[in-house]
Copies of this chain bind each other. A is one copy, B any other.
Amino acid sequence: MTSTHPIDFYFDFSSPYGYLAATRINAIGAKYERRVKWRPILLGPAFKASGNSPLVSQPIKGDYSIRDVKRTARFMGVPFKQPANFPIGTQNAARAFYWLDDRDPLIAHMFAMTCLATYFAEGIDISGADTVADIAARLGANRNEVSAAIADPAVKERLKQEVDASLAAGVFGSPYIIVDGEPFWGSDRLDQVQAWLETGGF
């Protein structure tokens, strides 16, 4: 089955499983000639709607999840370092992403992947506006414009609309991938995402 509708890839910049999926999703899209629309969200409102909380703060399950993320990264062959500050607020990175995406989607994409790798492969906190602006600037964006955008009420509102739209689409975790209306939650569903694209649904 061929389709021109993009694959929606929802993630939070502070989600380790979102990072793991991010390292694979474009290759999967490319294999089936499908564009992947990266859609950073904030898990806080999603957790509120679904009554969830960050895995790491849950008793017993939290310790397991840290072990599982590290092991899954090794299993996938993806560099991973548990950040000392975890989880972090990601509104600055998400705002910068949408501002960039409206101007230069390729820089926005490289920015997203670099933020995730900086945080999860190097363990460097990316919550600060300055850190986010530095990353964007190194990729060719105008640092002052990015800094101004992060503080701009219109950009804040843009992110809020994206988060609201994700909740309306049923997104409750990260990564959350929608292929032609079919939702897949978790980096461990990438094999099903690929099979869905291969077969047009099973």
B-contact bits for A37-59, CB 8 A (1 contact / 0 none): 00000000000011110000011
Asked whether A68 and B185 contact (CB < 8 A) given A59-B51, A61-B50, the answer is yes
| Copies, count | 2
Chain B residues near A49 (CB-CB < 8 A):
59-60
Decide yes or no whether A188 CB sits under 8 A from chain B: yes
Return A28 CB to nearest CB of chain B, in Å.
15
Decide yes or no whether A195 CB sits under 8 A from chain B: yes
Decide yes or no whether A24 CB sits under 8 A from chain B: no
CB atoms of B52 and A61 under 8 A apart: yes
The stretch from A69-77, A90-98, A105-113, A117-125 touching chain B is A69-77
Please list the 9 inter-chain residue pairs (A to B) with the smallest Cβ-Cβ separation, ordered nearest first.
A188-B188, A50-B60, A60-B172, A50-B61, A61-B172, A75-B192, A50-B59, A74-B202, A51-B59
A sample of 24 inter-chain contacts (CB < 8 A) reads A49-B59, A49-B60, A50-B58, A50-B59, A51-B58, A52-B58, A60-B170, A60-B172, A61-B172, A61-B173, A64-B170, A64-B183, A64-B185, A67-B183, A68-B185, A68-B189, A71-B192, A71-B202, A72-B192, A74-B202, A75-B192, A75-B195, A188-B188, A188-B189
Interface residues of A (CB under 8 A from B): 49-52, 58-61, 64, 67-68, 71-72, 74-75, 170, 172-173, 182-183, 185-186, 188-189, 191-192, 195, 202
